[in-house]
Structure 1
Amino acid sequence: MKMHLGSIIILCFLLCSLTFTASQTSIDTPTMQSLKSHLNLTKDIDWSNPNPCKWPTVQCDGSNRVTRIQLKTKRIRGTLPPNLQTLTELTVLELFENQISGPIPDLSGLTRLQTLNLHDNLFDSVPKNLFSGLTSLQEAYLENNPFSPWEIPETLKEATSLQNLSLTSCNVTGTLPDFFSSQTLPSLTRLELSQNLLQGGLPASLGSSSLQELHLNGQKLNGSVSVLQNMTSLVEVDLQGNAFSGPIPDLSGLQSLRIFNVRDNQLTGVVPPSLIGLKTLTTVNLTNNNLQGPTPQFEKSVGVDILTTNTNSFCLGTPGTPCDPRVSTLLSVAESLGYPVKLATSWKGNDPCASWIGITCAGSNVTVVNLGRQGLTGSISPSFAKITSLETINLSNNNLSGIIPNELTTLPKLKMLDVSNNDIYGDVPKFEAGVKVVTTGNRNIGKPKPLAPGASPGGDGGSSKGTSKAKIIGPVVGVVAALCLVGLGVCLYAKRRARRPAKVQSPNNHMVIHPHHSGDGDAIKLTIAASSVGGGGGTESSSSHAGNTDIHVVESGNLVISIQVLRNVTNNFSEENILGRGGFGTVYKARGVEYLHTLAHQSFIHRDLKPSNILLDDDMRAKVSDFGLVRLAPEGKYSIETRVAGTFGYLAPEYAVTGRVTTKVDIFSLGVILMELITGRKALDVSQPEDSVHLVTWFRRVAASKDKDKDAFKNAIDPNINLDEETLASVQKVWELAGHCCAREPYQRPDMGHVVNVLSSLTVQWKPSEADPDDLYGIDYDMPLPQAVKKWQASEGLSQTIDDSGSSSSAYGSRDNTQTSIPIRPSGFAASFTSVDGR
């Protein structure tokens, strides 16, 4: 069949038309139309053309594939469609500063995507596989979106071309992942994660990263910042507003560093010269830390924010002025301990003899360093040898490792070195004959340095999988079996002795423990009975179930304590702390109020310290009792409001007036007890003249005139105290301490740790001389308690009987006037306090 020329021309025209039309159509059109339908575009954006490649803010390549979508700062509302991942040639997606909401869709197919900029929108969730397959991604900006809490995904490791990552104010939680090394993310130079909810420490992989900018301010991050010393490419670092602690590391390798912001943390130690001397530094912010040593002096060209008043612990306020040599030496000691925060908050100023925790002086000479039971880690510093006036070093009951430095043997006045109950190893150096060295409780003392876990002599510590499993499974099975046996024993014993008081065979059979049945088979509790045991004490609001021993509940009538606390206060149930064994179990001694206030992870407030609640054992060691009014100090709060309870005469004024209670309430009570000890007077004594009824008021009046009238001071001291020169000096120290403890304002009172340090330095002087135990106080320790009490009463001229039920009667009818009684409210004493009465 022959075709006419005209027909051929028409056919060619149609074919050309079809080809032209096809070239004007993009295979991305359905996805782009879906995007258009999901967004509420403003009138100035015309996406009416059927070909998306003709749309403004959209760009395509030569094949009509969409490569760029840039709808930025247009106030666009709506959501994103779930099929954006079909735009496989997309390189730039910029939708920032709009009002787009809903989830960010799956983008895992966009292997050519280089820029993802969605910041300042209203997106509410992130796909779990975000960053998956985005091997070309160079920049990701998601900041300022109200995402539901999410964690940085593992798929971030697949974005191997990533240079900038900004997730500020994105509700990111969890910890920083440990894959920021240059091997994993070789191109990453800027990491912006500020104002999120991250916690934990800085991962080690940051030290081998290529980061130039690190912004982590406003988080819950903590731990050391030592990894910074290896980040040699850093130009800017912002760690403001976290809980980082420890010293600023050597930064001499950061030769490009310009901005260094670590304000509002808990950093300690001396500001390193390597930071001060950086030539590139333009801005440094160190305010609100616990930094020590001399105030650093930077170059004039450096913008410095380093407020020294009440924000750091520098020895002097003038930049560049060196500290007192005693301060420098003690800071060197603290350096070996990692500059603990507890020391940094106390070791302020240029005089270590001015109420530094753990430091006792004779004049201006440091004679005692008492840092026992402070939870310290690190090692013993040879710098102790520079404090030539030292007589006592107490580092017991910590977690110290390393050896005892030989340099300590050169201390000319040293009498006592106590490093017991640590992890010290190696031989004990040879000290002078008069020096007492206590090393008990160090399992490796006298032995070589212990091998690291898993290591073996002459080997690299490696092992087969079978051996590794055996090393793990063996102890686990052992522990589980032990727990099962203990649990079975506790359950059987509880059923047998439920609700029945049991005596403990302590030396005098005086201690009684009242076990309470909790009714919870999975709970393990230690209950210390208050005075109302058996009378329906308060209820507990929680207990320790299997797998959870972090108990911190204190309720009226009982104190519930975690196993870890028991380990802490008894030094892991050390044999040295055993008071007695018997019917109910083993009784251990522990350090009372100081532990409640400072050594525990959370602070407890006793609220009723008084002589009748401080018991003495046969060795005159004090034991705090009656925890019926104990309250837990809320974490992060300085005070709590509660109903006023306690004993008149021992109540702190602010507690009596407002009902607000802090640990300083116990300090006030202890101060009153110290006043009673050295004056022989009662806290409230109605037999005294009206202006002297209240011991604290009278004491302050005498203290105010002490310097002018020394006879009045001596006359105020209990006449039963033999005031030789040495005793008078000791009484003066206790007098001053009692006055500080009873200061009118709570913030003026010392911490319990300081009180312990002051008093412990006097114990050597006060320790009674050895005597025949049978002749001591004329007490026969084999005599039953009731008979011993009768004998004592007879010797004191008292007529009193104790019947079998434990009740007592007295010829005097009342013992309100005895020193050991609880002061009652005097007649005429107001039922409530005013600010004038309280102060």
Structure 2
Amino acid sequence: MTGPIDVVATMESLTVLWLHGNHFTGTIPESIGKLTLLKDLNLNSNKLVGLIPISLANMRLQNLDLNNNHLMGPIPMFKASKVTFASNKFCQATQGLLCSPEVMALIEFLGVVNYPSKLVSSWSGNEPCNWLGIRCNSGKVSVINLPHYNLSGSLSPSVAKLDSLSEIRLQYNNLSGPIPNNWTSLKSLETLDLSGNNISGPLPKFSRTVKLVVTGNPLLNGDKTDHTKGANIPPESSDSPPNIPTTSAQDSDPGSPATNSSLKSTKTKGFKRNIFVLIMAPVASFALVAFLVIPLAIYFYKKRKDSNLSSTSLVIPPRDPSDPDNMVKVVVAANNTNGNTSTLTGSGSASRNSSSIGESHVIEAGNLVISVQVLRNVTKNFAAQKELGRGGFGVVYKGELDDGTQIAVKRMEAGVITNKALDEFQAEIAVLSKVRHRHLVSLLGYSIEGNERILVYEYMSQGALSKHLFHWKSLKLEPLSWKRRLNIALDVARGMEYLHTLGHQSFIHRDLKSSNILLGDDFRAKVSDFGLVKLAPNGEKSVVTRLAGTFGYLAPEYAVTGKITTKADVFSFGVVLMELLTGLTALDEDRPEETQYLAAWFWHIKPDKEKLRAAIDPSLDVKDETFESVSIIAELAGHCTAREPSQRPDMGHAVNVLAPLVGKWKPLDDDNDDYCAIDYSLPLNQMVKDWQEAEGKDFSYLDLEDSKGSIPARPTGFAESFNSADGR
């Protein structure tokens, strides 16, 4: 649900009001204090803005949940028995502490222009000098610079409290109403630009030193006058003191001597000025032409030169025994006649080889900024035939480097460049540039040029697990064998165990599902899509966060309260196990009502062996010899999806259950899939080529349709390497 919540203040008989998990906007109405019978108010995970009303702070509620909004200003002293207010934009972290006067003045200004989301997301904390559109001098706000921000509403008198303001630039918005009279009290004000709005009169009388620009406001004299006053005096009157009319020959008596003398002087000056213009005009014209032509010639020369250079890349995967620092490196090189490349270890900057015609850059993978032109080259200018799939983020293309190495290029579409999408883009870089684990997908680089936002990943040729479980018939694929499903489950468990416990810090994925599990050439699995990763708290404490993820995989406590621990990922993993067992999607409204929600239905049929056997994916020819391992996986899936988080195991337990099954399970008819035959110490491109030569074919199934709707977070501090003692 969307819109303001003002109407609830009229429902005076309410005792419980839960509005959490919606998209309500606007402020909390002051009149909410009229709900004297209200005891429980939950506004968690909305888009409410502005100050908390004093009337709400004075309500004697039993429970008040304000988490995950955009509330601003100070946190008042609440009279509620239990109150939570995390993840907002407050200026202080403690109840009762006031904001600085400048912060309060700017928040009042923000309210009068209807709290634009771009400013609300930036204006938080008690230091306005770091806010978008605000500049300071000696720690005091000196400039408000917000042109072309589509601001609507009126001008706030609170701006007059910013006594160090020297410039106010609000041109080309949709502001209306008069200029507040108290703005004339701003002693340091030099420039006030309100052009291109809908300001109405009368105009206050500012000091002569103030440059007031109000052109392009139709309500001011029908927009026929150049309303530029004060210090911005036209050149022809610049010799006269401000506000004193300039005397001209036309204002004097035509017969006076002074007038005749003035006319002669004017003629002499005019003649000299004409000669000066005749001499300078050709010189100035030549200088202007040279000024324009020379830079353009240089630009086109460089562009032509750059277009003749081709780019290549060489990827060295992690855990390469020949690499002493055990790092991922990427080389992006221009045409290089002698074949030399530079090497750089652990640096974010490039080195150059002066002996070659081109340049070579070696940068730690994930921190590599790749030019859009390089990615255009390897994807044939993002050709349709190179398209692998589409999702909420944009389009994924297959790219091939000059040495034959294949990459996946994820390009954000211009139509989805929202704050949410940009946050997800940044989160992917923040996480994957520091994660080093064989069961977490690797980010090789990214590109930010103009409106282009592109991520470059290692290429996972077999695509998403969801395709092989739910769409294998329509895609004419072979169904996954039980052996492969066991290996996939173990791979995912090991990747998630690393995120939760084996790195330097603990992280929560928040969107684990079969469409975010990608399969490589050998059907080994890697977890992908890290736009939602959240830093986990110490111990078993939960962190309150905005609801995100995919229904069907969401743990019940997270879906209801917004509180999350690593056990929410364990729940999602349990649902993935159920999908591997049954071949059914986590949520399908087209199925009979009792089977729509896979986790709930699986819990009912799991204790009955006959029902469990009937629920197994028909593409699996499960015999008595294999049903034992199926039962163990079913039991593990049940434990992972226990209703209470404390009853769920950690991912280390899942690894311990799965590892022996993978080790001892041998299919009756071996399909010659020997996963150990691949030498993982080889470079990635060599592994790909060896496998393709052995198989004599190429697979490229990838579709992101099942991965829409992720909401990003901003994690930091991932472990640089993986050194688990048990080699997981």
Q: Is the shorter-chain TM-score for this pair beyond 0.5, marking a shared fold?
A: no
Question: Which TM-score tier does this pair reach, normalised by the shorter chain?
Answer: 0.3 to 0.5
Instruction: Report which structure shows greater RCO (CA 8 Å, sep ≥6).
Output: 2
Q: TM-score, normalised by structure 2?
A: 0.33
Indicate the structure with greater helix content. Answer: 2
User: TM-score of the superposition, structure 1-length normalised?
Assistant: 0.29
